[in-house]
Amino acid sequence: MTFRSRILECVTDDDLVFRALADPTRRHLLDRLYERDGRTLTELESDLEMTRFGVMKHLRLLEEAGLVATRREGRQKLHYLNPVPIRLIHDRWIDKYTERQVSALANLKSELEETA
């Protein structure tokens, strides 16, 4: 699968985001960026017992899922945490379920009040 077709897949599918999050090293990288982003690969690999190539691979998966955005600054490639895909999952899924709970409670309240 090419890089571009994976990007397109992420538009129609949250799979890439869930897959990217389903790994402790990648969640650790996101936590590091949450503390402070705009970091280079060298900074990000410093506390990981992993080859540079391994860290690059994880960062690439995060970038393909849209969770990490990169910017070039001079000769450096800086990594930024992009929280928008997580927000999209929140807005499309979590809000939907909380709404159902709220409406269930609202229905219960009106039923109780009717019978009272």
Partner 1 sequence: MTTMTAQTTQVYSVFIRATPEQVWDAITKPEFTMRYFYGSELESTFEQGASYKQWAPEREKLWVEGEVLESDRPNRLAHTWRSLFDEDSAAEEPSRVTWEIEAQEGGVTKLTVVHDQLESAPKTAASVAGGWSYVLSGLKTLLETGEPLESA
- The reply on whether position 106 binds partner 1 by CB under 8 A is no
- The reply on whether position 1 binds partner 1 by CB under 8 A is no
- The reply on whether position 10 binds partner 1 by CB under 8 A is yes
Q: Write down the least CB distance from residue 95 to partner 1, Å.
A: 6
Chain-centre distance for alpha carbon 96: 19
Distance, CA of 110 to CA of 116 (rounded, Å)? 10
Q: For residue 49, give the 3-state DSSP assignment.
A: coil
For the chain, where are the alpha helices, taking DSSP H only? 3-12, 15-21, 24-35, 41-45, 52-64, 84-89, 95-115
Distance, CA of 41 to CA of 26 (rounded, Å)? 13
- The reply on whether position 13 binds partner 1 by CB under 8 A is no
Are 5 and 53 spatial neighbours (Cβ–Cβ below 8 Å)?
Answer: no
State residue 65 phi and psi, 5-degree precision: -80, -5
Out of 23, 46, 54, 88, the only residue in the binding site for partner 1 (CB under 8 A) is 88
Q: Write down the least CB distance from residue 52 to partner 1, Å.
A: 23
# chain residues binding partner 1, by CB under 8 A: 26
- The reply on whether position 35 binds partner 1 by CB under 8 A is yes
Q: Write down the least CB distance from residue 53 to partner 1, Å.
A: 25
Binding residues vs partner 1 (CB under 8 A)? 4, 7-8, 10-11, 31, 34-38, 66, 69, 71, 80, 82-88, 90-91, 95, 99
